[in-house]
Amino acid sequence: MPRDLTGLATRKAPGRASILNDEQRAGLAEQVETGPIPAVHGVVRWRLIDLAQWVWDEFGLSVTRHTLSRELRAMGGAA
């Protein structure tokens, strides 16, 4: 039985869905923009590991530094 394979070579795979939803992504963006509060967060600037901990504390989601870096780049930030 012949199959229609048109477009398979040019179609991009959808990939895995984002771990963060839009609301969580907005919260992360706000944290990055405002920066950490040293007395509260224990750091004077955000590192990926610190933001990953913040995501865990805030949303209960475990994200790797690599995934978080990709999310920040997609949001237009430098990571």
* Token pair for 29: 């963006």
The secondary structure of the chain, three-state, reads CCCCCCCCCCCCCCCCCCCCCHHHHHHHHHHHHHCCCHHHHCCCCCCHHHHHHHHHHHHCCCCCHHHHHHHHHHCCCCC
Q: Would you tell me how many other CB atoms lie within 10 Å of the CB of residue 68?
A: 20
Q: Convert the pLDDT of each residue in 10-31 to its tens digit.
A: 667 777 778 899 999 999 999 9
Q: Convert the pLDDT of each residue in 32-72 to its tens digit.
A: 999 999 998 888 999 999 999 999 999 999 999 999 999 99
pLDDT at residue 16 in the model: 78
Distance CA 79, CA 66 (A): 10
Give this prediction's pTM.
0.73
